[in-house]
């Protein structure tokens, strides 16, 4: 009887420990709209890339995050749909406020018709991105890349 009671108490303890694991929380959430025009290649008239997309950006408290890209791109008379989730990790190695953002995974949505070559001209995921997260008064953050403001975000 004591063995069964000990087993039951141990089982409940292990189950409670399993449920008590802390899931990462979103600490910063942003939304922005990007409208860009870019020339690709030598024939500027034929190889003009235009894209308009919404970007939702989320940072977790475990130094990971993700961005949701949705919109349209026009290139060489063709229209493409953009629907991607880009996961990343970010670190501030020397506590100077400059974070290295490294892309870790890209999930292409079912409705995304953008070719990989075209996507590489929209977001180059082969290179790290360097950003600073600056807290503003209240619960706002300014996210900058190389002195260019990109997002004003709410702390969630």
Model-wide pTM > 0.85: no
What's the pLDDT tens digit per position in 97-124? 889 999 999 999 999 999 998 999 999 8
Phi, psi of 109 (to 5 degrees): -70, 160
> Beta strands 140-145 and 129-135: pairing type?
antiparallel
Task: Using pLDDT thresholds of 50, 70 and 90, give the confidence band for residue 156.
Answer: low
Between CA 43 and CA 121 the distance in angstroms is 16
pLDDT digits (tens, 9 = 90+) for 26-83: 788 888 888 888 888 765 556 789 999 999 999 999 999 999 999 999 998 899 999 9
SS3 122: helix
């Amino acid at each position: 009887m004591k063995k069964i009671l000990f087993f039951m108490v141990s089982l409940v303890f292990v189950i409670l420990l399993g449920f008590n694991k802390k899931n990462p929380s979103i600490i910063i959430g942003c939304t922005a709209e990007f409208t860009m025009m870019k020339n690709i290649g030598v024939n500027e008239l034929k190889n003009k890339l235009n894209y308009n997309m919404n970007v939702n950006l989320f940072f977790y408290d475990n130094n990971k995050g993700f961005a949701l890209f949705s919109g349209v791109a026009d290139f060489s008379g063709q229209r493409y749909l953009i629907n991607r989730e880009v996961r990343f990790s970010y670190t501030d190695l020397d506590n100077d406020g400059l974070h290295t953002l490294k892309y870790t995974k890209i999930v292409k949505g079912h409705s995304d018709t953008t070719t990989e070559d075209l996507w590489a001209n929209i977001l180059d995921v082969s290179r790290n991105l360097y950003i600073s997260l600056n807290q503003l008064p209240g619960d706002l953050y300014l996210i900058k890349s190389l002195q260019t403001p990109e997002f004003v975000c709410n702390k969630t």
